Chains A and B, each alone.
Chain A
Amino acid sequence: MRPWIAAILYAVLGAITFVVCFPLLWAISTSLKPKDEIFRWPPTIWPENVTFDAYRELLFGGSVASAPGAGVPPSAYFLTWFGNSIIVSIGSTIISITVATLAAYSLTRFRFWGQRSVPYIAILGYMVPSVIFVFPMFLTMVSLELTDTLFSLILGYVCITLPFCLWLMWAFFRGVPIEIEEAALVDGATRLQVFRQIVLPVALPGIIAASIFSLIVSWNDYLFGRVFMNSMENLPLTVGVMHFFDGTHVDWALMMASSVLMTLPMAILFGFMQRHLVAGFGAGAVKG
Chain B
Amino acid sequence: MTDLVVQGLSKSFGSNQVLKALDLTVPSRQFVTLLGPSGCGKTTLLRMIAGLEKATAGEIRFGDRRVDMLPPGERNIAMVFQSYALYPTMDVARNIGYGLEVRGTPKPERTEKIGAVAKVLEIAHLLLRKPKQLSGGQRQRVALGRAMARRPDIFLMDEPLSNLDAKLRATMRGELRRFHLDLGTTTVYVTHDQLEAMTMSDLVVVMNEGVVQQIGTPEEVYGKPANLFVAGFIGTPPMNLIPAKVVDGVVTVAGAPLPVPLPPGAPAELILGVRPQDVTMAAPGDAGAVPGKVWMVELIGSERLIEVEIAPKLRVTAEVRASHRAAMDDLVAIRPDPAHIHLFDPATGLAIRA
Contacts and interface: CB of A to CB of B under 8 A. Distances in A.
B87 A179 contact: no
B73 A183 contact: no
Interface in B41-82: 50-52, 71-74, 77-79, 81-82
B81 A188 contact: no
B89 A186 contact: no
B94 to A, nearest CB: 10
A184 B85 CA distance: 9
B50 A186 contact: yes
Contact of B73 (A177, A189, A198, A202): A189
Task: Choose among A185, A188, A204 the residue with the greatest number of B CB atoms under 10 Å from its CB.
Answer: A188
Contacts of A177: 83, 85
A188 B72 CA distance: 7
Interface string B92-126: 00000011001100000000000000000000000
B85 A182 contact: yes
Interface string A200-238: 011010000000000000000000000000000000000
A188 B73 contact: yes
Interface in B211-250: none
A182 B89 contact: no
B346 to A, nearest CB: 43
B73 A179 contact: no
A263 interface: no
A184 B50 CA distance: 12
Nearest to A200: B89
B81 A179 contact: yes
Given A188-B103, A189-B73, A190-B73, A182 B52 contact: yes
Contact of A198 (B71, B78, B83, B87): B87
Contacts of B85: 177, 179-180, 182-183
A246 interface: no
B102 A193 contact: yes
A48 interface: no
B270 interface: no
A183 B102 contact: no
Contact of B88 (A182, A187, A202): A202
Nearest to B80: A183
A182 B99 contact: no
Contact of A189 (B52, B89, B102, B150): B102
Contacts of A184: 87, 98, 102
A185 B83 contact: no
Interface residues of A, number: 17
Interface in B180-230: none
Given A177-B85, A187-B78, 13 more contacts: A179-B81, A179-B82, A182-B72, A183-B86, A183-B146, A185-B72, A186-B50, A186-B73, A187-B73, A187-B98, A187-B102, A188-B74, A190-B102
Contacts of B99: 186-188
A285 to B, nearest CB: 19
Contacts of A182: 50, 52, 72, 79, 81, 85
B87 A185 contact: no
Task: Choose among A177, A179, A193, A204 the residue with the greatest number of B CB atoms under 10 Å from its CB.
Answer: A179
A269 to B, nearest CB: 23
Interface of A: 177, 179-180, 182-190, 193, 198, 201-202, 204
Nearest to A183: B85
A201 B89 CA distance: 7
Contacts of A193: 102
B103 A183 contact: no
B205 to A, nearest CB: 21
A264 to B, nearest CB: 32
B265 to A, nearest CB: 50
A186 B87 contact: no
Contacts of A187: 73, 78, 98-99, 102, 146, 150
A186 B88 contact: no
A17 to B, nearest CB: 35
Contacts of B103: 188
A15 B324 CA distance: 78
Given A186-B73, A186-B78, A180 B146 contact: no
A198 B78 CA distance: 18
Nearest to B98: A187
Given A188-B99, A189-B102, A183 B71 contact: no
Contacts of A189: 73, 98, 102
Contacts of A201: 89
A208 to B, nearest CB: 14
Contacts of B72: 182, 185-186, 188
Nearest to B83: A179
B86 A180 contact: yes
Nearest to B75: A186
A202 B146 CA distance: 19
A201 B150 CA distance: 24
Contacts of B74: 188
A182 B75 CA distance: 14
A185 B89 contact: no
Contacts of A190: 73, 102
A193 B102 CA distance: 8
A237 to B, nearest CB: 36
A110 to B, nearest CB: 14
B87 A183 contact: yes
Contact of A185 (B71, B88, B146): B71
18 contacts: A179-B81, A179-B82, A183-B86, A185-B52, A185-B71, A186-B99, A187-B73, A187-B98, A187-B99, A187-B102, A187-B146, A188-B72, A188-B74, A189-B102, A190-B73, A193-B102, A198-B87, A198-B89
A186 B83 contact: no
A186 B53 CA distance: 12
Contacts of A202: 88-89
Contacts of B86: 180, 183
